[in-house]
Structure 1
Amino acid sequence: MTYQNKNEFPILFTDRLVLREVTYLDANDIYHYLSDEKVMRYYGLAPFESLKDAEEEIDWYRKIFDHNTGIRWGITLKGNDKVIGSCGFLNFTKQHARAEIGAELAKEYWSNGIVSEAFRAILGYGFNEMSLMRIQALIEPENNASKKLAEKNGFVKEGLLRKYEYTNGKYDDLFIYSILREEFL
């Protein structure tokens, strides 16, 4: 894995992927997968209904980066600049050296190890470049794919946060998983 552009938005390279900044030019790609009910099942938002929804999502990616509260990369395959998903950190608190991790992927790319490869890259970035001590994931109990992804990447399930989040007209329980710097390194 290599890094580029240390003073600007970081671009991460893995064997198969390029993780890069998402721009308005990617709005159609974002809309494609974030309008899919299966992709959005555990996202915490209703499926997108318009290109404007995708543009607002891109605005949010830029806002969290500009305010240093998170970073969201677009996932692309090497040799193809189409954004097929995104991954990154939110709720970054420098004082406590922690952030939450998340990702989603267009369903036609599921079960190919893409999110796991992207996760390893951003975990490395979080611990090495952002000096994080703790990275956590909040996962709905029914989201077996995300639980498996977290466990495969060394996360430990810490417990259940009951009725932790209100999304799509209901309160959701969330499992909290974490990985610490020394466990990753």
Structure 2
Amino acid sequence: MKRIEDHFDPFPVLETNRILLRPITTMDVEDMFQYCSVPEVARYATWDYHKSIEDTKGFVDFVLDRYKTDKVGPWGIQYKETNKLIGSCSFVNWDNHCLRAELGYVLSTEYWNQGLMTEVVTRIVEYAFNELELVRIEAKCHPENAGSARVMEKSGMKFEGVLRKYIWAKGELQDVKLYSIISDELKDKMLIDLGD
């Protein structure tokens, strides 16, 4: 059985109608800084907003190192209409033995409420089930992050419960809401979508 890591050499480039999902490069630093420096973008994230472009360069260097080492790094979300990097989405945890992975994502505030992140998550979930042969995809969000919860629900994920005092972020232990989708549910969702 192939490991998830084996599918990221070469890095898989994916597409949707409006989005190109591809590796992040040093050319993306300015675009990334534009959205990572907005406090609202990082409000519910585990990381703080970027206070200088050096913060963003440091993160991009970290990403490039991941590409070189374990090969599983984030997809850059490129908006096709402008060729601008507007966010990222990645497997933040995975378990090859149990055939599951967890997704994390971030998107520029300029592109909120347009269905773009739902498009991205749905495409990556399809890839995970069809190409990686995973059985379960999870995602978590802060209990007050209604936008992220909505993305998970629109992508076909089901709410499983609140994990209390689950993650250390920004100086405190925080609760998170847990969502998931299993491969059979994606097939059911696609059949429903085709019938609409």
With normalisation by structure 2, the TM-score equals: 0.85
Distance 2:70 2:97 in 1: 12
Q: Which residue of 2 aligns with 1:136?
A: 138
Matches within 5 A, 1:31-180: 31-68=33-70, 70-180=72-182
1:69 and 1:92 in contact (8 A); partners too? no
Letter in 1 for 2:14: L
Alpha-carbon shift at residue 109 of structure 1 (Å): 1.1
Distance 2:130 2:73 in 1: 15
Alpha-carbon shift at residue 67 of structure 1 (Å): 4.6
> 2:14 is paired with a residue of what secondary structure?
strand
Distance 1:136 1:56 in 2: 27
With normalisation by structure 1, the TM-score equals: 0.90
Question: Relative to structure 1, is the Cα distance of residues 119 and 111 closer, same or farther in structure 2, using a 3 angstrom cutoff?
Answer: same
> Which consecutive unaligned segments of at least 5 residues does structure 2 have?
1-6, 188-196
2:38 and 2:49 in contact (8 A); partners too? yes
Distance 1:86 1:110 in 2: 13
Letter in 1 for 2:87: G
Question: Relative to structure 1, is the Cα distance of residues 176 and 66 closer, same or farther in structure 2, using a 3 angstrom cutoff?
Answer: farther
> Which consecutive unaligned segments of at least 5 residues does structure 1 have?
none
Q: Which residue of 1 aligns with 2:194?
A: none
Distance 1:66 1:127 in 2: 25
Distance 2:18 2:71 in 1: 28
Letter in 2 for 1:96: C
Matched residue pairs, number?
Answer: 181
1:99 and 1:136 in contact (8 A); partners too? yes
Percent identical among aligned pairs is: 37
Question: Relative to structure 1, is the Cα distance of residues 180 and 65 closer, same or farther in structure 2, using a 3 angstrom cutoff?
Answer: farther
The two structures, once aligned, show a CA RMSD in angstroms of: 1.9
Alpha-carbon shift at residue 101 of structure 1 (Å): 0.8
Match for residue 25 of structure 2 among 20, 23, 26: 23
Letter in 2 for 1:44: T
Q: Which has the higher helix share?
A: 2
Letter in 1 for 2:24: V
Alpha-carbon shift at residue 183 of structure 1 (Å): 0.8
Distance 2:126 2:65 in 1: 23
> 1:132 is paired with a residue of what secondary structure?
coil
